Amino acid sequence: MAMTPLLIKADDFFCKREQSEEIEFDSGMEEGNPVIIAGFGRFGQITGRLLTALNIPFTAMEINPEQVDFVRKFGNKIYYGDASRLDLLRAAHADKARIFLLAIDDAEISLKTAAIVKQHFPNITIYARARDRKHAYQLMDLDIRLIRRETFGSALEMAGLILEGLGMSRQKAKQAMSTFREHDTSRLHAHQNMHTDDEKMIALSKSSRKELEELFEQDKFV
């Protein structure tokens, strides 16, 4: 069977002249890589693979030592252990990195890591995987803004496929998906902003059923 080759060259994608200060990852950094990926499971691996295909080096942190030691073969680094450990973050040169992908599946360890990184490495930008809305709110409480809920993207793609399966044109389905995504994201931010700290705590302890019921009502009637 014919394969589609993955021919991606970073040079073709980055506008070096226009943004020369931004592009430091290919200048042969000796100590630190521009990107740290904490949690190298199903989620973090996608960024790892895409960066590898583009020859952009990264440093991975993963608690499972059997998982991914081969990533070294591609010029990357990997540190084993709990990414919320300050000594490990220092060893991984979190002080030199620009981007920290927080892709840990366990919400508690994710939040603990986020707090440590925020405190000790204020210059790094955190991109965070969230398990669900509640986890997303907790990340937002730590002033993290670049968040993706881990099943949202695929679930929305699937909803679009189903609309097409029901007879909707692809263009209309994409439009419905886009409207839904914008609406849902604005709800996420609105819920966050509407709460005082005390109320937030109550909101977080609400059952998921209650929140989902509210979402259905808002989707339909707002």
What is the footprint of a second copy within residues 32-91 (CB under 8 A)? 34-35, 42-54, 56, 66-68, 70-71, 73-74
Backbone angles phi, psi at 87, to 5 degrees: -65, -35
99 binds a second copy (CB under 8 A): yes
Among 159, 170, 199, 206, binds a second copy (CB under 8 A): 159
- Stretch of 85-93, 106-114, 166-174, 198-206 contacting a second copy, by CB under 8 A: 166-174
Q: How far is the CB of 87 from a second copy (least distance, A)?
A: 25
User: Looking at beta carbons only, is 67 or 91 nearer to a second copy?
Assistant: 67
Among 27, 123, 154, 196, binds a second copy (CB under 8 A): 154
Cβ(152)–Cβ(143) below 8 Å: no
User: Looking at beta carbons only, is 45 or 84 nearer to a second copy?
Assistant: 45
Q: How far is the CB of 199 from a second copy (least distance, A)?
A: 15
In the range 107-136, which residues lie near a second copy by CB under 8 A? Answer: 125, 127, 129, 132
| Three-class secondary structure assignment of the chain | CCCCCCCCCHHHHCCCCCCCCCCCCCCCCCCCCCEEEECCCHHHHHHHHHHHHCCCCEEEEECCCCCCHHHHHHCCEEEECCCCCHHHHHHCCCCCCCEEEECCCCHHHHHHHHHHHHHHCCCCEEEEEECCHHHHHHHHHCCCCEEEECCHHHHHHHHHHHHHHCCCCHHHHHHHHHHHHHHHHHHHHHHHHHCCHHHHHHHHHCCHHHHHHHHHHHHHHC
In the range 11-30, which residues lie near a second copy by CB under 8 A? Answer: 12-15, 19, 22-23, 25
Q: How far is the CB of 94 from a second copy (least distance, A)?
A: 16
170 binds a second copy (CB under 8 A): no
Q: How far is the CB of 8 from a second copy (least distance, A)?
A: 6
Q: Which of 214, 139, 142 is nearest to 184 (CA)?
A: 214
204 binds a second copy (CB under 8 A): no
163 binds a second copy (CB under 8 A): yes
User: Looking at beta carbons only, is 49 or 90 nearer to a second copy?
Assistant: 49
Q: Which residue, chain included where needed, has tokens 């409207």? A: 179
Q: For a second copy, how many residues bind (rule: CB under 8 A)?
A: 93
Q: How far is the CB of 52 from a second copy (least distance, A)?
A: 6
106 binds a second copy (CB under 8 A): no
Contacts of 67 (CB under 8 A, 6+ apart): 40, 41
